[in-house]
Amino acid sequence: MMIENTGLNGVKSDLALLDETAEKAGFVRWQWEYYRATYEYKIEDNKTEYYVRMNTRVVEGKLEKPDTILVIEAVYMGKATFPHGLEYETPIPAAVQGIANKKLQQFKEMLEA
């Protein structure tokens, strides 16, 4: 499920600030390679795990250099599946969506501060 109207799509930041802000907001940079990174936030609801993901892409430099500039490309959410992966077509409970929206707003405010 794509999460629209977060105000994050297209936002640029250097890697150092993005990593610091993500950590403070509870996001983790899991998947990464030299030109992209994915930040995730886990939400648990009745023994079901959901993940909010932010995809970023390098626009200047290479990852692992603090001054690398990244742009947030997409924000989406899915239900965790076994053994690993996300299912994006499953309806997300309203309470989980609410938590995700609050967390994304918090992340955006911290990034802009």
Fold of 12-112: TATA-Binding Protein (3.30.310)
For residues 13 and 54, is the Cβ–Cβ distance under 8 A? no
In the predicted model, is pLDDT for residue 65 greater than 80? yes
Identity of the amino acid at 61: G
Predicted local distance difference test score (pLDDT) of residue 66: 93
Confidence of residue 71 (pLDDT cuts 50, 70, 90): very high
In the predicted model, is pLDDT for residue 84 greater than 80? no
Question: Which whole number is the average pLDDT over 30-36?
Answer: 86
Confidence of residue 33 (pLDDT cuts 50, 70, 90): confident
Report residue 57 as tokens: 């892409």
Report residue 36 as tokens: 């992209």
Element (H or E) spanning 111, and its range?
helix 94-112
Alpha carbon distance 83, 69 (integer Å)? 33
Predicted local distance difference test score (pLDDT) of residue 64: 84
| Domain residue ranges in the chain | 12-112
Axis-axis angle for helices 15-25, 94-112 (nearest 10): 140
Predicted local distance difference test score (pLDDT) of residue 104: 97
In the predicted model, is pLDDT for residue 37 greater than 80? yes
Confidence of residue 85 (pLDDT cuts 50, 70, 90): confident
Confidence of residue 91 (pLDDT cuts 50, 70, 90): very high
Give the burial string for 70-101 (b: 16+ CB within 10 Å, else e): bbbeebbbbbbeeeeebeeeeebeeebbebbe
